[in-house]
Amino acid sequence: MGKEKKAKNIFSIVGKIFIVLFLIVEIYPVFWILMSSLKPTQEFNLTPSYALPVKPYFQNYAKAWIQGKMNIYFGNSAIVTIVSLFFIVLLGTTSAFALTKMRWNLRDKVMKIFLSGIMIPTAVVLIPLYSMYHGLGLLNTRLSLILTYIAFGLPLTIFLLRGYLVSLPDDMIEAAVIDGASIYQIFTRIMFPLMKTGIVTVGVIQFYFRWNDLIFSMTFISDTKMKTVQTGLLYFSDMYGNRDWGAIFACIAISVLPTLIIYIFMNKMVIEGMTSGAIKG
């Protein structure tokens, strides 16, 4: 017994050391970005890149924000993400409600079609979408991104919200119908408040997916004034990346900060949201 216990202890200690080292490997690069974004560019020539900044130098952020046009990209990303998020939630909740709690003819077929959308790789729709938006004059507009994001956001949203709705009892709806409530009242007064957690989770996942998109914004947007943070960051690093290390690190930090801040405040929600798609899908 004693020997076994000893072996177990050693295993536990080795495991702990392994986990700690692993956590450092996972988190140190992020710390390195934040530290490097506070160094003036010349400092990279003088000290090794893992050294901490001698004195915090915030000028990099001003440069990234104005000269790097991060202010424009950031604004575009914010508008596109928030607007599509609004519509994903609006259309997603109502559709999920109609597809689980209401009875109509083609319901199951429509549901199946929506759910099959989860599997579709973006590559398959890229060329026709480009032609379509070109024909409609939508290239270089925010609308092209918003429409695409809504369409790609809906399948997973409807799927996850259906999971929440199925578990809600029908009696409540029946009682409301007997009391003379209309379908819209049932939805806004009863279902919507009950779906709150589900909606927040879905919103958080979609925020991450849409904020992080590269392939669509790269394809549909070529005008600098319309670029999003991700395309803007790529563009900036192509232009100045090699010469101005301080500024590029500040740009990276700016693009990372919103996602990091949301994560710090809502990490439970984020983890649950991001993994629920995988577990249930």
Angle of CA points 75, 146, 223, to nearest 5°: 55
Which window, 67-75, 160-168, 188-196, 228-236, contacts another protein (CB under 8 A)? Answer: 228-236
Residue 164 vs 245, nearer CB to another protein: 245
Shortest separation between residue 40's beta carbon and another protein, angstroms: 13
Region near another protein per CB under 8 A, out of 59-67, 117-125, 164-172, 195-203: 117-125
Angle at 238 between CA 27 and CA 223, to 5 degrees: 110
Does position 240 interact with another protein (CB under 8 A)? The reply is: no
Which region among 12-20, 52-60, 162-170, 194-202 touches another protein (by CB under 8 A)? Answer: 12-20
Closest CA to 101 of 44, 173, 37: 173
Least distance in angstroms from the C-beta of 65 to another protein? 16
Least Å distance between CB 204 and another protein? 10
Contact between 154 and another protein per CB under 8 A: yes
Between CA 169 and CA 160 the distance in angstroms is 17
| Chosen residue from 78, 79, 83, 151 binding another protein by CB under 8 A | 151
- Residue 193 binds to another protein (criterion: CB under 8 A): no
Exactly one of 6, 22, 62, 189 binds another protein (CB under 8 A); which one?
22
Binders in 48-107 for another protein, by CB under 8 A: 48-50, 90-92, 94-95, 98-99
Span from 55-63, 66-74, 193-201, 245-253 in contact with another protein (CB under 8 A) = 245-253
